[in-house]
Amino acid sequence: MHLKVSIALIAYLVFAYVKAETCPPESLTRPCECLPELDLTLECRNITDASVLGGISRRTGDITFEKLRMFNSRIESMPPNTLTKKQFKAIEIYDSKLNSLFDGIDESNSVRALDLFHVEFGQTFPWSQLKPLKNLRTFVHLVMFCALYHNV
């Protein structure tokens, strides 16, 4: 019995260590940063050109990230190819400005959670752009002091 418990514990520790060490080299994710949280998170700050995300997507190849987190950014829209290729399951955007949310994202995306905190849009909120998010389960849009929470 002790042998089974010991083997299970060793396997868990090895898996946890390997999981935490799967971030690609920093040079591939700059100017963003890879954070080995429960799963890989790509965290970006002060992005003003959406092509930065496309560059990171190309440089990191087959590496997938669980979450994209952006702070203080001003971009036209989230690049749809990057969102689909990187298989982000969660997107969090804080204190940012976008003209639109997604421009032409297809239904093969993996987005399950979308959290927007103090995000301004060029015009009204682009509700129609949520339609292709077929896997979306949680949507939070916090603007100033009122919040819209929708569990899909």
- pLDDT for the residue 14: 44
pLDDT at 37: 87
Assign 34 to helix, strand or coil: strand
- 151 falls in which pLDDT band (50, 70, 90)? low
- Residue 82 — pLDDT band, cuts 50, 70, 90? confident
- Spatial CB neighbours of 20, under 8 Å, sequence gap ≥ 6: 36
What is the pLDDT, as a whole number, of residue 8? 46
Contact assessment for residue 98 and residue 75, using Cβ atoms and an 8 Å cutoff: yes
pLDDT of residue 72: 98
User: Is the pLDDT reported for residue 141 higher than 80?
Assistant: yes
pLDDT band at 88 (very low <50, low <70, confident <90, very high): very high
Mean pLDDT value across the chain:
84
pLDDT of residue 26 exceeding 80 = yes
CA nearest to 47, candidates 35, 30, 65: 30
Per-residue confidence band for 38, with pLDDT thresholds at 50, 70 and 90: confident
Dihedral sign from CA coordinates of 52, 53, 56, 61: negative
- Per-residue confidence (pLDDT) for residue 1, from 0 to 100: 54
User: Quick check: 9 pLDDT over 60?
Assistant: no
